[in-house]
Amino acid sequence: MARRKRGQPIHGWIIIDKSQGLQSTETANRVRRLFDAQKAGHGGTLDPLATGVLAVALGEATKTVPYVMDGPKTYTFTVAFGARTASDDAEGAVLETSDVRPSEADVRAAMEDFNGEIMQVPPKVSAIKVDGERAYDLARDGEDFELAARPMTVYRLELLSYAPEAAEFEVEATKGFYVRALARDIALACGTLGHVTSLRRLATGPFDLEQAVSLEKLEDLGQESVLFEYLADPIHALAGIPAVDLDPTEAVRMRNGNPVSLVRRSQIGRLGDIGPDDEVVVTVQGRLLALARFDAGQLQPIRVFNL
């Protein structure tokens, strides 16, 4: 006999405005317990130092986590000039100092090299694996190692404020981007050293701060039904993917893992210029049913949601 899952079958996204000091996994687990949900995950780790958007998935929404993680991220951050730390942020020990303080013109000139396609070396205190070991474990043990540069895309980089001791920036970049590495590299390009002293995520994928609520507020609400006002439908994580709505008979076929033919020209036309490797959101009566691939006039299910 299969074991009964603990918790309730609750499905959706909760967008948390994470407080400083909280671990991302701890935050997701507290949300799960608050809703008494069967399972939870999150759409991209935030360092304990960081605040802002942490998207927490409950139940079947966890199947859409990769789509949130793959989306662009937007941050504001402050770089303090004059010191390099072991972690490239204020939590690490100071390793080296510099008396050089860049001018605003120096900072703006350096920024030009960090727009568009760039190569970025991750911080040594990171989750990157080196010969099967996490870089942060090797760094903690005092191991000598180097991390390879990785291609990244910076969609937008703006200087929000400047002072000789520190500058504040806003950046929108691709997944896997390290703001701590950007802060380090901007300082180096200015002929000095630097590290992050504050970091706030404004958006991740389709979710932003306007949708966010603090964990503390949710916990104050307790088990009241008002909690569910903050639960976003799993389909919101799939924004921007072409969608098609099936009738109930077609939906039964797809729910059972079978392909569905699209013979209605109006439906095929709604998909636009789509290739065989592209994904389609499938709904029934407007409710999320599956993710599928469209090939040779058929929708082949690749992930079915039990909602």
Q: What's 280's domain CATH number? A: 2.30.130.10
What's the alpha-carbon Rg for the chain, to the nearest Å?
23
Residue with tokens 């599928």: 292
| In a shared domain, residues 62 and 211 | yes
Token code pair at residue 142: 């005092």
User: If 0-12 CB within 10 Å is exposed, 13-18 middle and 19+ buried, where does residue 288 land?
Assistant: buried
| In a shared domain, residues 41 and 100 | no
Q: Which domain-ending residue is among 216, 237, 258? A: 237
Token code pair at residue 14: 């909760």
| In a shared domain, residues 51 and 161 | no
| In a shared domain, residues 97 and 197 | yes
Provide the CATH number for the domain around residue 225. 3.30.2350.10
Task: Quote the pLDDT of residue 225.
Answer: 74
| In a shared domain, residues 144 and 193 | yes
| In a shared domain, residues 98 and 199 | yes
88 occurs within a structural domain: yes
1 occurs within a structural domain: no
| In a shared domain, residues 229 and 261 | no
Q: Which residues are catalytic?
A: 47
Alpha-carbon distance of 178 to 166, in angstroms, equals 19
123 occurs within a structural domain: yes
| In a shared domain, residues 57 and 83 | no
Tally of domains in the chain? 3
| In a shared domain, residues 225 and 154 | no
| In a shared domain, residues 33 and 86 | no
| In a shared domain, residues 81 and 168 | yes
Strands of the chain (E only): list them. 12-18, 40-42, 51-58, 73-81, 83-85, 94-97, 116-120, 129-130, 133-134, 150-163, 166-173, 194-204, 207-208, 243-246, 260-261, 279-284, 287-295, 298-304
Residues whose CB is less than 8 angstroms from the CB of residue 143 and which lie 6 or more positions away in sequence, other chains included = none
pLDDT along the chain (307 residues), means of 10: 69 95 91 91 88 96 93 97 94 94 97 96 77 70 77 97 97 95 97 97 95 92 80 92 86 88 59 71 90 83 90
4 occurs within a structural domain: no
63 occurs within a structural domain: yes
98 occurs within a structural domain: yes
Task: Quote the pLDDT of residue 217.
Answer: 92
6 occurs within a structural domain: no
Q: What is the pTM of this model?
A: 0.89
3 occurs within a structural domain: no
User: Which domain does 105 fall in, by range?
Assistant: 73-204
Task: Quote the pLDDT of residue 268.
Answer: 57
Task: Quote the pLDDT of residue 297.
Answer: 75
| In a shared domain, residues 185 and 211 | no
